[in-house]
Chains A and B, each alone.
Chain A
Amino acid sequence: MKYLVAILCLVQSSWLLAQEYTFGVVPQYEPQKLIEIWQPLLEQVSEQTGVKIKLVTVESIPVFEQAFANGEYDFAYMNPWHSVIAYEKQGYLPLIKDASRKLQGVLVVNKDSGITELSQLEGAEIAFPAPNALGASLLMRVDLAQLYGLTIKPVYVQTHSSVYLNVALNSTKAGGGVLGTLKQQPQNLQDKLNILYRTREISRHPIVAHPNVLPKIQLQVQQAILDIGQSEEHKHLLAGIPIIKPSIATLADYQQLTQWGLRSFYVEN
């Protein structure tokens, strides 16, 4: 019997050792670039934990949404609102977040427009990159509608740059973006814009884990990433993602999005 238990244990441990975990990444960029960013990090994690992790990339956000909704990924990197959805569908739990900064939307207007109050935007056309863009679009629309009771005509112009250009060219009276992309715009464009309003803050993209993954493994991976964040030698592996300062994420960090009423603004594909 002892032997049997020992054999089972061996089998169990060998199974444990032999299992390969999948790691899905939101397709912010093209797959090649995603591999370049993520593969070195995941290899480092595997080396430190002994857990085999396989990077999985997809072509588009809808495919990605479908995949995590089906629970195809053991681990995944996604935006905060996706993490809320993923938790609801499959029970994905946040493991790691970037403690260094938070996500916040900004509303810009043309410097020459003479708009100083949000009330002046009542009924106006406002440019947004896309309906589901979290900081620039979802958070902003939620704030404007729920906090200020404004009715606006959203115009979706695909990219943050287009948003700023629309404002600068007086195509729309205002535009929703995030501070990060605004600062990346050419100086002459930035010079034409004023920030009229900032949304409430939310933690940035978390790394989440499927509930099927053993908690031990989840912890090992979480610890490995935290270690890497601490290690002078390896923290550059996180910079490309970007996660400047990894810390432990909790479900509560992201649940407030549901409370803010984002769901009604989210457009299902």
Chain B
Amino acid sequence: MLKINWWHSLRAQSFIAVIAFGVLLACLFVFYALPEQARWVNDDLSKTAQRSLQQLSTSVTTPLLTRQYAELYEQINNQLEIQPNWKSIKIVDATTGNQLYPLDSWTGAVQSGDMLLSQQITFLNKPLANITLVVNFTNEINESSKLHYTLIYIQFTILVFILIGLAWLVDYRITKPLRSLELAFSRLAKGDFECHVDKQQHNEVGSVINAFNQMATEVASNHQKLNTLRIQAESASKAKSDFMASMSHELRTPLNAILGLAQLYDYDDLANKVQKDNAKSIYRAGEHLLLLINDVLDLTAIESGNMQFNFDYVPIKRVVEESLEFVSELINAQSITIQTEGLVELEGLCVYIDERRFKQVMLNLLSNAIKYNKPQGHIHIRCQVSTNHQCKISVADTGYGFAADDVTRLFKPFDRLGAETSNINGTGIGLVITRELVERMQGEITVESELNKGSCFSLIFNGFEQNTLPKNTQLPLQTVTTSTSNILPTLEVLVAEDQVTNQQVLKQQLSILGVNGTFVSNGEQAWQALQDKHFDILLTDIQMPLLDGLNLAKRIRTENLYEHLVIIAVTANIIKKNIDDCYAVGMNGFLTKPVELVQLKSLLMEHSTGMVNAHIQSNLSPVISSDSFDQLDLSLLVAMLGDDISVHCMVFNAFLQSAGEQIKLINAYAANKNYTDLAFQAHGLKSSSKSIAALSLADFCQQIESLAENNSVQSESIHELELCFNEVIVQLTRYCEHYE
């Protein structure tokens, strides 16, 4: 609550105003009204005295003329008696200069406040005598001052009453209600909607309180509505992210099959040319669809704010070079020439970005420049570094370009500026994603274009001199110099995985990558292993008995013992919540099951600084005929484990050993309606199934797991699972027999 300075409070201000008014009034009285009053009284009385003196002069003319001095004396004495402020009178004969009155010598003005008034007595224009009067109005002035002071006392008394009244008014009618309002506001801010204030007054304050009460009521009702809407939105969002997670898998899996099978036609000698051409068309269309799916997923991730960025200081020159190398084949195929300018200027300059996303941006711009170029066209890459280390990378083409008015349409999703009708492949969201990515990485993208002459896209980022960066952010030189080779340092990796099959898969994968792996079955064992030996990386499953992955990571990070240990989650659930949970407990990254060899490699490279290399085959295309193994995704299998059949069979054997037990347990738990353990077992089997690329089986397991979590497992589902499981077992057995 805001502490109000006393001087700023209404109460104090009203007090000060009243006191200031009182002091002003008093000053006015003492320094102006009273002296003015005294002067006025004095003047007025003087005038009156002068008039009386004049009358006296007239009335004493006769006695003076007739020398009837007794009458003169009587009149003057009489006047002195009846005029209280007449002190003394002197009459001097005008001709002789004799003093006619008083009889004795005259004292004149002796007291303070005495005033002399004089008048000449004339008769027929001849001066008879001079009359002088001494008056003193001190008493009158004092009387009038006394009256005034009394008035001031009365006014001050009234003022004091006004002050008390005002204090009451401000305190009781304004300050107190305001304080209760303030209290109510803070209660409202804390979410207490029952904070109504009692309305006691039928004035403005009352109406404010009334308005507040109404507001509180409306806020409460709106809050309730919002809550309902939020719950709805959250569930919708959850549904969407669930949907997107499954989409990524569900759409790409069949597409892999389509692409793979379409490619096979090329090697099939029995196929005729028409069939081969059709297959190529299918492949191209599939590839476009894959691109579209990936873009849509990216766009969805951006729009929902789920896109993850791993920022780091990245040498910009290397990234640009790698991007150029990536598109070199495409360029060659399109007979387009490419020219770079000022690439050297980028030497030694780092940019704080997510390298993978930046590459995506560069590739997007370059592929657009290629796609929308004219035949025999030209691409010009220009790199500039300004004095404040701002680097600008421009990609200019000599394509069809677009009008300046269309620039705004350029970054609208699915608007391809009329290219929809052309035969150029595209989704219309590439640039939207590009701009989002650039802006999320604190960069800027600008466009210049001229119709039929080409367009130029420029990226602007703030750069840093590499030697000015902190030591630990400097990247090892080796990665720069040997950027094209697949390097992996010798690492000590701890794997926590309860499923034997998955353990087997990872064991094979790590062995291929030349990395030392230590395997444990749950979090507790992992914790023990960490105490005994140094590990660089921990790969951990999320769902494990005794201590799950999340709690394991939490314990490691809380204990603060293994600061440099990189923790990677290995999970089959790639919905956003799971990923957020992983990062929340301090994990460094995650891998989705089934784990592909390439993913694992790049992740290990990303998180390690070790030295020793291992070479993996770059050609991971399927070499195994998939004709009779419809339950197994062989291309995925190869992606996970390479094309060594013996390795495959080793993993399959591990699955065959453990899975029989698991399916029995699933049956038993389903019969006993022990849904908790059922879900756990189903999850375990799902995980194992993914590791042997038995995706249909994994899907059945997922269904069972979901149903078990909702306590509504049907016996039909279990039956279908068993059928599928048996099929998988048959195919695995046959696979091993076939290739051994």
Partner of B69, one of A166, A188, A192: A166
Q: How far is the CB of B228 from chain A (nearest CB, A)?
A: 115
Question: Do A165 and B104 touch across chains, with their CB atoms under 8 A apart?
Answer: no
B68 with A162: CB separation less than 8 A: yes
**Residue of B at shortest CB range from A172?**
B67
| In contact, B100 and A158 (Cβ under 8 angstroms) | no
A 171-220 contacts with B by CB, 8 A? 171-172, 186, 188-189, 192
Give the CA-CA distance A188 to B73 in the complex, in Å: 14
A161 CB → nearest B CB, Å: 3
B44 within 8 A of A: no
Q: Verify A168–B103 contact, CB threshold 8 A.
A: yes
Verify if A96 is at the interface (C-beta below 8 Å from B): no
Q: Which of A166, A186, A188 contacts B67 (CB 8 A)?
A: A166
Q: A127: CB under 8 A from chain B? A: yes
Identify which of A158, A161, A172, A186 contacts B66 (C-beta below 8 A). A158
Q: Given A169-B98, A170-B98, A162–B69 Cβ distance below 8 Å?
A: yes
B138 to chain A, nearest CB (A): 28
List of A residues within 8 angstroms of B277 by Cβ: none
Decide: B104 and A161 in contact? CB cutoff 8 A: no
Contact of B103 (CB < 8 Å), options: A158, A160, A188: A188
Q: Which residues between 34 and 92 of chain B lie within 8 Å of chain A, taking CB atoms?
A: 66-73
B69 CB, nearest partner CB in chain A, Å: 4
A172 to B68, CA, bound (A): 12
The answer, yes or no, to whether A55 is at the interface (CB within 8 Å) is no
A192 surroundings in chain B (CB, below 8 A): 103
A171's nearest neighbour on chain B, judged by CB, is B67
Contacts of A48 in B (CB 8 A): none
* Docked-complex contact A157 and B98, CB < 8 angstroms: no
Q: How far is the CA of A171 from the CA of B73 in the complex (A)?
A: 15
Which of chain B's residues has its CB closest to A155's CB? Answer: B67
Contacts of B68 in A (CB 8 A): 157-159, 162
User: Within the complex, which residue of A157, A158, A172, A188 is in contact with B104, where a contact is CB–CB below 8 Å?
Assistant: A188
Also in contact, A158 and B71, with CB within 8 A (given A188-B103, A189-B103) = yes
Most buried by B among A161, A168, A172: A161
Interfacial residues of chain B within 89-107, with CB under 8 A of chain A in the complex? 98-100, 103-104
> A157 contacts which chain B residues (CB < 8 A)?
66-70
- Asked if A169 contacts B69 (CB within 8 A), the reply is yes
Q: CB-CB < 8 A to A189: which residues of B? A: 103
CB-defined contacts of B66 to chain A, threshold 8 Å: 157-158
Measured between beta carbons, the chain A residues less than 8 angstroms from B104 are: 188
A162 touching B103, Cβ below 8 Å: no
A234, B646: Cα distance in complex, Å:
179
- A163 smallest CB distance to B (angstroms): 8
The distance from the CB of A87 to the nearest CB of chain B, in whole angstroms, is 34
Q: What residues on B are CB-neighbors of A155 within 8 Å?
A: 67
For the complex, give the distance between the alpha carbons of A63 and B104 in Å. 41
Chain A nearest CB from B94 CB (Å) reads: 14
Residue of B nearest to A125 (CB): B67
> In the complex the two chains form, what is the Cα distance from A166 to B93 in whole Å?
13
Q: Are A165 and B98 also in contact (CB < 8 A) when A159-B68, A188-B103 are? A: no
**Cα(A144)–Cα(B366), bound, Å:** 161
Identify which of A169, A172, A188 contacts B100 (C-beta below 8 A).
A169
* A186 nearest CB neighbor, chain B only: B103
List B contacts of A159 (CB < 8 A): 68, 70-71
Instruction: Say whether A171 contacts B69, CB under 8 Å.
Output: yes
Residues of A within 8 A of B98 (CB): 169-171
Q: In whole Å, how far is B155's beta carbon from the nearest beta carbon of chain A?
A: 52
Q: Which residue of B lies closest to A162 (CB)?
A: B70
CB atoms of B67 and A127 under 8 A apart:
yes
Across the interface, which residues of B come within 8 angstroms of A186, CB to CB?
103
Query: A156: nearest residue on chain B (CB-CB)?
Result: B66
How far, in whole Å, are A189 and B77 apart by their CA atoms in the complex?
A: 15
Complex alpha-carbon distance, A160 and B68, angstroms: 10
Bound Cα distance from A165 to B73, whole angstroms: 9
**Which residues of A sit under 8 angstroms from B100, Cβ to Cβ?**
169
B75 shortest CB reach to chain A, Å: 12
List A contacts of B73 (CB < 8 A): 161, 165
CA distance A97 to B98 in the complex (A): 44
Closest to B101 in A: A169
Rounded to whole Å, the gap between the CB of B452 and the closest CB of chain A is 138
Nearest Cβ distance between residue B107 and chain A, in whole angstroms? 14
CA of A158 to CA of B100, assembled, Å:
18
Chain A stretch 36-57: residues in CB contact (< 8 A) with chain B: none
In the complex, which residues of chain A have a beta carbon less than 8 angstroms from the beta carbon of B69?
157, 161-162, 165-166, 169, 171
> Chain A: which residue is nearest B104 at the CB level?
A188
Within 8 A of A (CB), among B668-684: none
Q: Which of B67, B72, B98, B104 has the most CB of A within 10 A?
A: B67
Expressed in whole angstroms, the Cα–Cα distance for A169 and B100 within the complex equals 6
The smallest beta-carbon distance between A171 and chain B, in angstroms, is 5
A165 CB, min distance to chain B CBs, angstroms: 4
In angstroms, Cα B68 to Cα A112, docked, is 22
> Could you tell me the distance between the alpha carbons of A166 and B64 in the complex, rounded to whole angstroms?
11
How far, in whole Å, are A158 and B99 apart by their CA atoms in the complex? 21
| Measured CA separation A160–B70 after assembly (Å) | 8
Q: Which residue of B lies closest to A189 (CB)?
A: B103
Q: How far is the CA of A183 from the CA of B183 in the complex (A)?
A: 99
The chain B residue with its CB closest to the CB of A169 is B100
Contact with B along A135-166 (1 / 0, CB 8 A): 00000000000000000000101111110011
Report the Cα distance A172→B69, complex, angstroms.
12
Nearest-CB residue, chain B, relative to A161: B70
* A158 proximity list for chain B (CB < 8 A): 66, 68, 70-71
Among B69, B71, B73: residue with most chain A CB under 10 A: B69
A127, A157, A170, A186, most chain B CB atoms within 10 A: A157
- B residues with a Cβ closer than 8 A to A are 66-73, 98-100, 103-104
By Cβ-Cβ distance, the 6 closest A-B pairs, closest first, are A161-B70, A165-B69, A162-B70, A159-B70, A162-B68, A162-B69
Q: Can you list 24 A-B contacts with CB-CB less than 8 angstroms, sorted by A residue number?
A: A127-B67, A155-B67, A157-B67, A157-B69, A159-B70, A159-B71, A160-B70, A161-B69, A161-B70, A161-B73, A162-B70, A165-B69, A165-B72, A165-B73, A168-B103, A169-B98, A169-B99, A169-B103, A171-B67, A171-B98, A172-B67, A186-B103, A188-B103, A188-B104
List 15 additional A-B contacts (Cβ < 8 Å) besides A158-B68, A161-B73, A165-B72: A155-B67, A157-B66, A157-B68, A157-B69, A158-B66, A158-B70, A159-B70, A160-B70, A162-B68, A165-B69, A165-B73, A171-B69, A172-B67, A188-B104, A192-B103
A interface residues with partner B (beta carbon < 8 Å)? 127, 155, 157-162, 165-166, 168-172, 186, 188-189, 192
